[in-house]
Structure 1
Amino acid sequence: MSSTTTSEVDRVGGRGSTALVASLLFIALVVAAIGSLGAPLITAVAQDYRVSLSASQWTLTVTLLSGAVATPLLGRLGSGRRRRSVILATLAVVVAGSAATVVPAPFAVLLVGRAAQGVGLGLTALMMAIARQYLGERAPSTIAMLSVASTVGVGVGYPVAGLLTQIGGVRAAYLLGLIVATAALITAVVAVPKDAPDAPREGVMDWPGAALLSVGLVAVLVVTSETSLWTSDPVIATMILSAGIAVLAGWVAVERRARRPLVDLRALRHPEVATANLIMGVSGVAMYLLFTLITRYVQTPSQAGYGYALTSFEAGLVLVPFSALGFLAGRLVPQLSRRIGPFPLLAVSGAVVAGACLLFAATRTFGVACPIVAMGVLGLGVGSFSAAMPQAILAVTPSEETAAAMSINQVVRSVGFSIGSALSGLMLATYTSDGSFAPSETGYTTTSWIGVAVAASSIALAVGIKSTRRHDHAR
């Protein structure tokens, strides 16, 4: 550890480091919970604002979009001397957006507010950069928990949001977001360390790269989120997806020539970094595919011939094992990772996710406890993935590039989640006959097996990179 880093760690101290860890985790949990707050409220928003379910779905989609666009920008802006200012300004935007979701206003204002809330999803990478700079030996375990919080934290607010919606309506649930966002901003003001005067300058922002990345991500995420577009006009959907991919290819060309790129793509030349991000994207598809299947299945009314007709509050309780076992994995995995390395753990995590998909495919009709168990197993796998991933990436990443490196991993995760959600919706739509309000149960079985196959491919990638490393060391 360099003398500069040592002095930074000393500035925080023992009790101060404990308070800093708690503060960073709280902020990460808040932005994750607020970002996902739209999911349990989609039906209620459609009723209260008198819009269609597809329109109401945008209260979640627009949040994911703004988060995916903001994450690399915040990662670069927060890599220099203005990290604290970037964090406080971002949380202020989240608070303002939260206020917009509460006030009586047209549906468009709600969407603007949700987009502003989504900007906070980019803060997790900055929390990791602070942990790595100031927490010394506690940094790896804290970074692992931050990664876990940004993923399994999506289930934290579901039960409460569902209960508040049943008691006081949609705005009562969104009021919870305003309260915790304000608490997160106050926490950041008190706890986030001041930027070191000798920190590197941010330099000139790569605005052309930022613009291309934003346009490409929006195109890809919009078309993967809108499952109805694939069923109604697959040609248009394919054209939009192809255009988005082409723009992202142009972004790669621009980044390779930029003096200070938004994302240093040279890091992806390292096989471990590139493979870790690929594993994150692939596994993210399987994770969110099953997550979407279970939450939809348990709320399906019995008139469909299956399902358990759970209310939004009851469906939220189904996610409690997901979050609980995810956080448990976040506590255990860093210790195991130091002994056996991150990639074997990523392979094991893929096996756990595949097992959760298989469990749901085979046992979901035996009682509501079976989907709940499958959700808990999924949380264990997601938590393991999230805790092992940072070590795989940061082991070969300079400290000053922590925020930028983890921000691109967060973007890859968002794309994987979006594709997984879209794939599950598309498969279920394929198994929904004309005039039917629900798909046949065969659709759930088939889609679950697709999840098993996708999770198995992430296992193959993790095993492959381990075999490659062993071969290189033998030479």
Structure 2
Amino acid sequence: MTRAISRGPGLIATMIVIVVCSGVVQGYLTPLLPVVGGHVGIGGVGQNNLYLLSQVAFAVLTPLLSRWGDIWGHRRLLLIAVAMVAVGSLLIAARPTTATLAVGMVAQSAVVGFFPLLAGILRSRSPEHGRVGMSMLVGALLLSIGTGGFVAGTLSDEHALAGLWTAVPFCVLAIAAAFALPTSTAPRAGRFNSPSALLLTAGLGALMLVLTEGESWGWASPYSLLTIVAALVLLAVWVVVERRSAHPLVDLGLLRNPRLAAVSAHTFCIAFGAIGFLGANAVYLGTDPADGGDGLGLGLGARAISLVSLGMVAVGFVGSTLTPRLARAIGDRAVLAAGGCVGAAGFLSLCLLHSSLPQYLVGALLVGLSTGMFEAATRALSVEVVDEAETALSVGVNEMALSLGAAIGAAVIGALWAGHTTAHGAVTGGGYQWAWAACAVVALGGAAVGLLFRDPSAAPTPEAGVAHAGRTA
């Protein structure tokens, strides 16, 4: 079976099964946590702590799984990652308690390794389909995130905990697909750097902690300041250890590659708004205008909110699948700049037009389109700008930029909201306006960074592969 799907469309179709599992896992718990939390006795603070725990796990596992894949084999680590996600999903569904939710969500965070490890296999086994393959994987991810949340919410309308089983069948299919994939032919080298891993884990954990809890602690409080200092010191020591190590966990020299640096900076900027905005999007859609500050909000129910999110990811799917053809027509640099401009236009539209659902959808759908464009473009380019042996690590660096951009964006939005609330705690119009404006400015920064990207001057260029991939698709 492996031989039959070792290349081309069959290989990509098998990978899509795994990516759909990733999307469902990332999307199905969000609308369920309030209901599940009430059932098992977890309040708002506890739910936020679960979110914090999963974000720390995301940040930590991204470089670890990527590096292990480059050392020990992409398919082997992919099997381990899929198994972790399956065990976590089954644990949550079979016995939902505070402890099992915490352990299960940490195990589910192994989905962050799917894209880097799949990229390593795709590049080594079917490089001529790299661009179109990555765009299709991103499109499938976006659609499955939205669909997973909608299905889980619908199931939980009938029974509070029924939606927790949403991810389990997809995990079973993903395990079968992972066994069917071929091994990567990329060379393996190096040893795992345990001290570096511990420093990075502690530094990123402290950083994610202050980003998530800074608003409740107070950004100028001793807790926040001490945590920020600890994060900076740990990460600074990690950088020193990495530079002196013969076997670094994350080769920081990769960022001396101006093409990868531009791609990762663009990813950070667009993720700041496009993904950091998702939580704020749900809050605005669900706020009753009679309760919100300045009469803002649309007062939608859970199912209606999930439909808006599904519409955003559907538009993102279109943007993702069209990105390879657009890159062939206007070039990678123009695609990156266009994605940033589309995102900025979406947030500016929200600043001006947000009093009704049709008005709001204009800006929200533009943000969704930008999300699909940047995820497809940057994930494909992060594969192409490095040597084959560094593929998973390079994609992992880009995934870290995405995670940090989204986390910092969400933290900035939360801080702007905290400074613009009514006496009853509702966000005022000024809070929303400042948040949307901040996302627009950072998106324009991403467009500017995209203009710094340069195609390699030496021939042959990847464009030949893009054209071939586009025709094949």
Choose the corresponding residue for 1:370, options 356, 359, 364.
Answer: 359
The alignment status of 1:282 with 2:273, answered yes or no, reads: no
Question: What is the match of residue 434 of structure 2?
Answer: 446
CA–CA distance in structure 2, aligned partners of residues 371 and 273 of structure 1: 35
Question: 1:460, 1:232 → 2: CA distance?
Answer: 30
The sequence identity of aligned pairs, in percent, is 28
Q: Work out the CA distance in 1 between the residues paired with 2:395 and 2:379.
A: 7
Whether the 8 Å contact between 2:348 and 2:436 is mirrored in structure 1 is yes
- Contact 1:282–1:457, Cα closer than 8 Å, also in 2: yes
AA aligned opposite 1:172: A
Amino acid in the other structure paired with 1:58:
N
- Distance in 2 separating the partners of 1:13 and 1:99: 28
CA distance in 2, matches of 1:466, 1:129: 23
- CA drift at 1:154: 3.3
Query: CA distance change for structure 1 residues 88 and 382 in 2, over 3 Å: closer, same or farther?
Result: same
State the shift of 1:233 in Å: 5.8
For the 8 Å contact 1:82–1:195, the answer to whether it is kept is yes
Residue type at the aligned position of 1:311: G
**Structure 1 residue 468: Cα displacement:** 13
Quick one: which amino acid aligns to residue 348 of structure 2?
A: L
Of 422, 428, 450, which residue of structure 2 is paired with 1:433?
422
1:225-304, aligned counterparts within 5 Å? 225-231=212-218, 234-304=221-291
Tell me the residue number matched to 2:381. 392
* 2:163 counterpart of 1:173: yes
State which drifts further: 123-132 or 253-262.
Answer: 253-262
Letter aligned with residue 225 of structure 1: T
Q: Post-superposition shift, 1:13?
A: 6.4
Residues 220 and 241, structure 1, Cα contact 8 Å, conserved in 2: yes
Provide the residue aligned with 2:117 in structure 1.
126
Partner of 2:317: 327
1:157 is paired with a residue of what secondary structure? helix
Shift of the alpha carbon at 1:80?
4.2
Match for residue 451 of structure 2 among 440, 448, 463: 463
Question: Is contact 1:160–1:313 with CA below 8 Å preserved after alignment?
Answer: no
Once the two structures are superposed, what CA deviation does each residue of 1:153-207 show, in whole Å capped at 9, x if it has no partner?
53332211221222211x3112101221122112212x211355xx533432111
User: What is the one-letter code of the residue matched to 1:95?
Assistant: A
Inter-partner Cα distance in structure 2 for 1:235 and 1:377: 40
Counterpart residue identity of residue 195, structure 2: P
- 1:22-33 correspondence to structure 2 within 5 Å: 22-33=13-24
Q: Specify the code of the residue in structure 1 equivalent to 2:342.
A: V
Give the Å deviation of 1:430: 1.8
Q: 2:370: which partner in 1?
A: 381
* Pairwise CA distance, 1:229: 3.1
For the residues of structure 2 that align with 1:264 and 1:467, how far apart are their CA atoms? 22
Aligned 8 A contact 1:428 1:444 in 2? yes
Establish whether residue 116 from structure 1 lines up as the match of residue 138 from structure 2. Answer: no
The CA deviation at 1:81 is 4.8
Q: Which amino acid aligns with 1:325?
A: V
| Equivalence for 1:3 | none
- Distance in 2 (alpha carbons) for counterparts of 1:348 and 1:52: 42
Distance across 2 between alignment mates of 1:357 and 1:403: 32
Note if contact 1:229-1:237 (Cα within 8 Å) is conserved in structure 2. Answer: no
Q: CA RMSD in A?
A: 2.4
1:219 paired with 2:206, answer: yes
Gap runs ≥5 in structure 1: 1-9, 470-475
Secondary structure of 2:440's counterpart equals: helix
1:358 and 2:348 matched: yes
Change (3 A) 1:81 1:69: closer
Q: Matches of 2:203 and 2:64 in 1, distance apart?
A: 14
In 2, Cα distance between equivalents of 1:172 and 1:94: 19
**CA 1:64 to 1:22, structure 2 compared with 1: closer, same or farther past 3 Å?**
farther
Normalised by the size of structure 2, how large is the TM-score? 0.89
Measured in 2, the distance between the counterparts of 1:286 and 1:348 equals 15
Q: Is the 8 A contact 2:37 2:47 kept in 1?
A: yes
- 1:150 deviates by 4.8
Does structure 2 retain, via aligned residues, the 8 Å contact 1:158–1:317?
A: no
User: CA, structure 1 residues 458+82, in 2 after alignment: closer, same or farther (shift >3 Å)?
Assistant: closer
